[in-house]
Amino acid sequence: MKSINKIILTVSLCYFGQNALAAAVTQEQKIAAAVNTYIQPVIKQCRIPGMAVAVTFNGKNYFFNYGVLSRQSKKPVTQYSLFGIGSLTKLFTATTAVYLDQAKKINLNSPISHYLTQLKNPEFNKITLINLLTHTSGLSLFTPAVSSQSQLVTYLNKWTPKDPIGTERMYSNLGYGLVGMSIQSATGSYKKSVADAILKPLKLSHTYFQTPSNKNNLAQGYNSAGKAIPFTDSTLPAASGMYSSSADLIRFVQANLQSKFSTAKSLNMALQATQKVYYKTPFLTQALGWEVYPYPLKLQTLTQGHNSELKAKASKLNTLPPANQEGYFDKTGTGDQNTFASYVAFIPQQKIGIVILANKFYPFNERPVVGYKILQQILKS
């Protein structure tokens, strides 16, 4: 009788074990199908040499890699390959700024003239770090044609806002550059501050400031015409200067999704604080670094928020009491000289997020559409 029971138990364990394995494989296959459905056409239509995609769903990560780091080397893309992440850098800058604020090393409500004393223009006595982090400083999207910090300071000391500070949202790379300069002034090193606040606690070993010296695992960037462009370091590293991998970025997304992901409580608090919304425009709600949309979300709403023409224009805004809200969080990035394309998004209430990296520029407005459709297909499957 005992032998029969053992046989039944063994058969049962095998049966249920196989079912569990089949279910796990099925979920991975469903995610792979969703990613392939929308990534393969982009690669073909835009002739992208290489892409890296990572999805996190219910605490588990999935990686999908396509093509090569460069047409010359033919080295395959992996989840550890390095891509220029462009404006995704702003997410690291914003998180570091909040982390330092909570540590009493800077004050987000202080005017930036407190940290950048070389700015003698009285307008900068009115602009706070919060204004810079939420794109409400009045500073323009693009940086002026300057090649040094001294030239930048000269430009800023002559600058005049078109509208009262804090009344409109205008996306500004320059603003985030000034956040980085303020962190540098307050702590002695912007790079060390980011590393101490984020990279070390999350063990992001494939994330670098500006162009890595070892280029063996670095993707070559191509412009929209398919021309390989030489690497150049960003003039505003805190706005767009970082390189990272899909493996590291999906860990960063996980840390944003899970309030206790890191053993460093101060980092967890900072990540949650960056998700607080401050202003609402006709197209999106602005958090610190993140752009937030109501969820469930209509695709049209998302595409309006990522309209490149609207991005360069000022949008009227309504001030909100800073507070966390559920929604669709995302950010799009483009490497310097338009040689890379990146996108990251997550939906806290669905425990899902995505990272998409490409080593060739493709239309800015297409990136959120691809990411959104992949996430929705996964959730529906």
Does residue 380 sit within a domain?
A: no
- Candidates 38, 66, 171, 328; catalytic one: 171
Does residue 335 sit within a domain?
A: no
* CA gap 345, 250 in Å, rounded: 10
Residue with tokens 């001030």: 319
Cα–Cα separations (whole angstroms), residue 97 to 8, 71, 146, 208, 381: 60, 38, 25, 18, 39
Does residue 312 sit within a domain?
A: yes
Does residue 224 sit within a domain?
A: no
Q: Mind listing the pLDDT tens digit for each residue in 75-100?
A: 999 999 999 999 999 999 999 999 99
Tell me if 325 sits within 8 A of 308, measured CB to CB: no
Looking at residue 23, what is its pLDDT?
Answer: 54
Looking at residue 114, what is its pLDDT?
Answer: 97
Does residue 25 sit within a domain?
A: no
How does residue 220 score in pLDDT terms, banded at 50, 70 and 90?
A: very high
Looking at residue 13, what is its pLDDT?
Answer: 41
Looking at residue 5, what is its pLDDT?
Answer: 46
Q: What is the mean pLDDT of residues 319-331?
A: 88
Does residue 182 sit within a domain?
A: yes
Global confidence as pTM = 0.92
* CA gap 352, 232 in Å, rounded: 34
Q: What is the mean pLDDT of residues 361-369?
A: 93
Looking at residue 10, what is its pLDDT?
Answer: 42
Looking at residue 24, what is its pLDDT?
Answer: 55
- What residues are paired with 280 via a beta bridge? 285, 318
User: For residues 13 and 235, which has the higher predicted lDDT (pLDDT)?
Assistant: 235
Which positions ≥6 away from 4 have C-beta within 8 Å? none
Torsion of CA 223, 226, 231, 232, to 10 degrees: -30
> Is 87 an annotated catalytic residue?
yes
CATH code for position 326: 3.40.710.10
How does residue 233 score in pLDDT terms, banded at 50, 70 and 90?
A: confident
Looking at residue 16, what is its pLDDT?
Answer: 46
How does residue 177 score in pLDDT terms, banded at 50, 70 and 90?
A: very high
Q: What is the mean pLDDT of residues 200-218?
A: 90
Q: Mind listing the pLDDT tens digit for each residue in 4-53?
A: 444 443 444 444 455 555 555 589 999 999 999 999 999 999 999 999 99
Does residue 368 sit within a domain?
A: no
Averaged pLDDT of the chain = 91
Does residue 105 sit within a domain?
A: yes
Write out the two tokens for 161: 């806002």
- Candidates 70, 81, 87, 245; catalytic one: 87
What total number of domains does the chain contain?
A: 1
> Is 205 an annotated catalytic residue?
no
As a three-state string, the secondary structure of 80-137 is CCEEECHHHHHHHHHHHHHHHHHCCCCCCCCEHHHCCCCCCCHHHHCCEHHHHHCCCC
In which domain, by residue range, is 161 found? 84-217+229-330
For residue 303, the SS3 value is helix
Q: Mind listing the pLDDT tens digit for each residue in 121-154?
A: 999 999 999 999 999 999 988 777 777 888 899 9
- pLDDT over 80 (residue 206): yes
